[in-house]
A and B are shown apart, each in its own frame.
Chain A
Amino acid sequence: MNLDLRTNAQLQIKIYRNIKNVKNLKQKLISGELKCCMIKPSLIYDPFQIAVAANKALASAKLITKTIFSEILFNLSVSKHITRSLQTFGIDDNDENILVVTISQNGEDNSESVYSQIDGEEVELSQLKNLSDLDNIKNVYKISEKESLTIPLIDSIVSRIATKDFLSH
């Protein structure tokens, strides 16, 4: 998917299940060897949620966190607390399913080198709906019953992401 034209960037999102080497992947994420963002699918309702968070990261002049990938995790969260945000949306050692987000920019794309290190099975992105945990999502984004009754969940989520830097949610 194309992000804001000014960023010259595209986003790729894939889902993997039954991952055998999460611990190893996590280490490589921390060391910076893996140039991607790995997210808990249970907290993602729709890929568009990631698009809005990634676009915000790429469109902003300066990053709050260290890398563009941690910035995506941070933007996904409505908390202004960096460590807590990365913990909430990032993967744990005992996660079996993960969303992998890579960015190609100015024609440069290294997503294949990321995918080759994942020991697990890729499934269709449409499988996401079986992995998202709606109650937990509403909880994390502080969406009340009243709101979710009439407002499409994705609208509530992306509008909070878009305003997290200047509103408290």
Chain B
Amino acid sequence: MANMVAEEEKATIPEAVALEIYRNIYATRRFELRCIELYRQGRIRGYLHPYLGEEAVAAGACAALRPQDYIVSTHRGHGHCISKGADLRLMMAEITGKATGYCRGRGGSMHISSKQLNHLGANGIVGGGIPIAAGAAMGIKVRQGDQVVVAFFSDGASNNGVFAESLNMAGIYRLPVIFMLENNHYAVSTPIECATGCCDLAGRGPAYGVPGICVDGNDAVAVYRATLRAAERARRGEGPSLIEANTFRHGGHHVNDPGLYMDPKLLQEWKARDPVAIMQRIVADPVKIQAIEGRVEAELEAAVDFAAESPEPDVAAFLAEIPD
């Protein structure tokens, strides 16, 4: 984190962008809290990995993208999905396993994807999305398109071989991909210091000819700016970038993990730099903030109702589709 650019400031970004970012940060925060409630009520099953505390990374990065740009997500993917423009109703329906969900109730929280949003998918395999992102960028190059791809993944994934191999190939072929390393400092309970001999994760980029920078991941504007620069570079044909966005989970690894191994002092420090509050200070206008929050609350309740009223997938129809 040594070379982290401290960038929290009264931002000189267009107001519309700032409002969009705040909307996505706030929507993600509220969505995750609502999901945890629904999980406790038994309406969500399986794995649920909240993005609480990390909202600014996805919101900042996606604000720098156009609708036609692609993203690849992770098991902790709700924030990426929301920030790419997802319909909260279809997300909630998916996470509660309903037929009306993005993936017809087949994927759940860990596997949401949306063709319409150019969201290539969350992933249950740590690191599984990284080469897919590089491959999407390869496809764009073959098609001679001008889109870029953002690969979201965290510190744990950066210690898997696919990270090194993908970075290397993206460097060779100058692929229009942005490796967005959300360094939340833990892989489950393993602190990053215990999982690598060198914690300068951004520094791994230059080893493959890929510029690597470090930003404050709780400051959405810093992430936005870095992503914008990387996207412009990619569109100019200059190839990939690695962005290490430093952030921290506000709780355990998943909904049933109290995260007792997390250093309470560190957690407190990060919570004091809450991405919601930081972005509120940047937007500054309480009327606009309130209006956004009101709209999000209404959308969220509509999403919960939509999911509750939606039908379960039809068993007979499901079975009929399966080949012998």
Q: Do A and B bind each other?
A: no
Chain A contact residues, CB within 8 Å of chain B: none
Chain B residues with CB under 8 Å of chain A are none
